[in-house]
Structure 1
Amino acid sequence: MDVPLQILLVEDNRFFQQLISDFAESHGFGLQVAENGKIAIEKLQQQNFNLILMDVEMPEMDGYEATDFIRNQMPEFQDIPIIMITSHEHPQHATKSLLTGANSYLKKPFREDDLLKEIQTLMIG
């Protein structure tokens, strides 16, 4: 039996947490939620994940800081795919996300199909 994809959602918005939770459940993915980057780093040290969905704007430690920390201070997680998610329109956020170490970037709101395509691309190649 295959182990389901384990996703860490780093997101402080409860509405979006529920949307991604429903998405994960409908596709048979496991999901854990961290409300900010600091909690995400703690969860990474406690459990194995295959993928991180990282919001950009959060209290305490935002998505850029958390991604930078994961990429530069946690060598055991160098290869974990990170998809940055934000509601910002400006292209600089996509550029900054990729420069910080994210593998890809999605702008909210996005379609479920777009998220699934990104996950498949990153997990399968």
Structure 2
Amino acid sequence: MDDPLQILLVEDNRFFQKLISDFAEFHGFDLQIAENGKVAIQKLQQHQFNLILMDVEMPEMDGYEATEFIRRQMPHAQHIPIIMITSHEHPVHATKSLLTGANSYLKKPFREDDLLKEIETLMIG
């Protein structure tokens, strides 16, 4: 049996944390939560993840800053796919997400099927 997918959710909204936790449990994924980019970086130093779900707007260190830091300063984590998540409508946020090093971008609210498809695309190729 394969090991479960190790996902780091970087999100400060408790409601969204619960939604993604339920999603991960249903699909057999192992999920850890970081409430901001600084905590995410600490967790990345202590644990191996297969995927990062990164909210854009958070206190202390936002998703853009955290993604840039991971891509530039954390060689052991540079390969981990990052899906940037935001509630912003404007396309500039998708572009900025990709420019900071994210692999893909989802706009909240999204359907579980959309998230699962993104995960499959990034993890399977």
Relative to the length of structure 2, the TM-score reads 0.99
Moved more, 14-23 or 72-81: 72-81
CA distance in 2: counterparts of 1:49 and 1:110, whole angstroms: 23
For residues 2-31 of structure 1, the C-alpha deviation after alignment (integer angstroms, 9 at most, x for no partner) is 100000000000000000000000000000
TM superposition shift of 1:78: 1.4
Relative to the length of structure 1, the TM-score reads 0.99
Cα RMSD of the aligned pairs, angstroms, is 0.4
Corresponding residue number in structure 1 for 2:2: 2
CA distance in 1: counterparts of 2:91 and 2:59, whole angstroms: 22
Corresponding residue number in structure 1 for 2:63: 63
TM superposition shift of 1:38: 0.1
TM superposition shift of 1:75: 1.1
CA distance in 2: counterparts of 1:7 and 1:32, whole angstroms: 6
Corresponding residue number in structure 1 for 2:26: 26
Corresponding residue number in structure 2 for 1:49: 49
- Asked if 1:118 corresponds to 2:118, the answer is yes
Q: Which runs of 5+ in 1 are unaligned?
A: none
One-letter amino acid matched to 1:119: I
The 4+ residue runs of structure 1 with deviation greater than 4 A are none
TM superposition shift of 1:110: 0.1
For residues 51-70 of structure 1, the C-alpha deviation after alignment (integer angstroms, 9 at most, x for no partner) is 00000000000000000000
**Aligned to 1:33, what secondary structure does the other structure show?**
strand
**Aligned to 1:95, what secondary structure does the other structure show?**
helix
How many corresponding residue pairs?
A: 125
**Aligned to 1:49, what secondary structure does the other structure show?**
coil
**Aligned to 1:54, what secondary structure does the other structure show?**
strand
**Aligned to 1:59, what secondary structure does the other structure show?**
coil
